Amino acid sequence: MNREEALLVSSSSISGIAWGANTIVVPIYLTQLGLPPFYVGLLLSASIVFSSSLGFIFSVLADAHGRKRFAMISRAISALAFLLLFMRIPYAYAFSSSWGGGGLVNAMLAEKTSNVENDLSLINSLSIVSSLIGALLPLALPIRLIFLVDSSVALASLLLISMIHERYRGTGRAFFRLSVTMGKFSTEAVIGLGAGIVIPLMSLWFNLKFNVSARQMSPVFALSDLTLALTVLAAPRLAARVGMVRAIVLTHVAAIILLVVLPFSPSFAIASTVFVVRNALMNMGNPLLSSMILRLMPENQRASATSFINLLSSIPRAAGPSIGGYLFGEGNLYYPFFITAGLYSAATALFYVFFRNARLESVKV
């Protein structure tokens, strides 16, 4: 791995600290600031819509004018948003996501590496280790101070990106063309809707179901991250054995079965075990999916294609927390899991139909 690959891998990976911490603390912190569960869901939804929409715009501009500057701007905005959250301004959360920064870094990495699958798997694994660190932060810090850590992480990521020399200069004009291949990734919209109903609110579900605190949940989320970090490293080997598409489908099917089982867990310990295994299976194929996008799309569309596919996932995902928050607020702690499992099943079946014969050699322009 060369120096610039290492900088990009590090820049992307350390962002996991904020993700790991915020998965636990954000829903709880927002309720501490006076928002009821339904409005917590609405704010999470607004954040997804806002960040993914602007992230797509950033990525189109980045394909036209270069990716580095827009990746740096996205980190700067995130750092400011986390600082405002520390100042007890709940609606700043809508600005805290990376605004397409992950897709921009992936596109920059594709320019620097000869083995994109391994680098993306390494990013995912290190990101998860970072998120494990983030998940442990509630054990050491008050929730409010965690947002200062988040802000510092965003600034550190910005600094690492600033040291990259970008060869790609852009097309010189901002445009976006929807291709048939991008349309096939519309399965991500169905996955996004299902995920949004339950996943952002899992810490709230544990709290409502078993009356556990953020401190009690912290080791569970940390263990979940550690388990995922290990399974992600195995994803390229699984893909080499059964094929990239089949690897994604098989892990999704196993995860869906566990998702249906999860709400029937009789204790926090059993629910935590199912949660950890399900999370690992559902997400270990993420670097394979990212690699598919980079391989199937021309170089001058990689950032915008990645962000568009993220947008396809994010807009329906934004509706999910409102649905899940409403059902949880009504005391229904089962139906959200069944709805999500049904949506995941439909999306996984369609994904296999669309891509089972895909040729995954890298496309160049």
Instruction: Report how far Cα 162 is from the mean position of its chain's Cα atoms.
Output: 23
In the chain the domains, ranked by start, together with CATH numbers, are: 3-166+179-355 (1.20.1250.20)
Angle at which helices 101-112 and 116-140 cross, to 10°:
140
Q: Which residue has the higher pLDDT, 330 or 100?
A: 330
Q: Which residue has the higher pLDDT, 258 or 166?
A: 258
308, 63 contact by CB (below 8 A): no
Angle at which helices 202-210 and 302-329 cross, to 10°:
20
> What are the tokens at 320?
């999910």
pLDDT over 80 at 3, yes or no: yes
- Cα–Cα distance measured from residue 202 to residue 133, given in angstroms and rounded to the nearest whole number: 18
- pLDDT band with cut points at 50, 70 and 90 for residue 354: very high
Question: What is the pLDDT at residue 361?
Answer: 55
Q: Which residue has the higher pLDDT, 362 or 160?
A: 160
Question: What is the pLDDT at residue 365?
Answer: 36
pLDDT over 90 at 280, yes or no: yes
Instruction: Report how far Cα 140 is from the mean position of its chain's Cα atoms.
Output: 25
pLDDT over 90 at 187, yes or no: yes
pLDDT tens digits, residue range 302-316? Answer: 777 887 888 888 888
Tell me 88's DSSP state: T
Question: What is the pLDDT at residue 277?
Answer: 97
Question: What is the pLDDT at residue 40?
Answer: 85
Residue type, 191: I
Mean pLDDT is lowest, of 27-36, 122-131, 336-345, for 122-131
Q: Which residue has the higher pLDDT, 317 or 286?
A: 286
Q: Please, what's the b/e burial string for 192-230 (b: 16 or more CB within 10 A of its CB; e: otherwise)?
A: bbbbbbbbbbbbbbbbebeebebebbbebbbbbbbbbbe
pLDDT tens digits, residue range 335-351? Answer: 999 999 999 999 999 99
pLDDT tens digits, residue range 66-77? Answer: 888 888 988 999
The H or E element that residue 166 is part of is none
Instruction: Give pTM, 2 decimals.
Output: 0.72
Q: Which residue has the higher pLDDT, 294 or 84?
A: 84
DSSP reduced 3-state for 65:
helix
Most confident range (mean pLDDT) of 58-62, 166-170, 275-279 is 275-279
18, 134 contact by CB (below 8 A): yes
pLDDT over 60 at 363, yes or no: no
pLDDT over 50 at 92, yes or no: yes
Length of the chain: 365
pLDDT over 90 at 297, yes or no: no
Most confident range (mean pLDDT) of 5-9, 118-122, 214-218 is 5-9
Question: What is the pLDDT at residue 156?
Answer: 95
pLDDT over 80 at 209, yes or no: yes
Residues 6+ apart with CB under 8 A from 130: 13, 14, 15, 16, 17, 19, 20
Question: What is the pLDDT at residue 276?
Answer: 96
4, 10 contact by CB (below 8 A): no
- pLDDT band with cut points at 50, 70 and 90 for residue 110: confident
Question: What is the pLDDT at residue 98?
Answer: 64
Question: What is the pLDDT at residue 271?
Answer: 97
pLDDT over 70 at 123, yes or no: yes
What are the distances in angstroms from CA 235 to CA 3, 116, 191, 239, 313? 25, 13, 19, 6, 22
- pLDDT band with cut points at 50, 70 and 90 for residue 364: very low
Which own/partner pairs from 314-317 qualify as long-range (CB within 8 Å, at least 24 positions apart)?
314/48, 314/49, 314/51, 314/52, 314/192, 315/48, 315/49, 315/52, 315/53, 315/189, 315/192, 316/189, 316/190, 316/192, 316/193, 316/196, 317/48, 317/192, 317/193, 317/195, 317/196
User: Rounded mean pLDDT of the chain?
Assistant: 86
Question: What is the pLDDT at residue 259?
Answer: 98
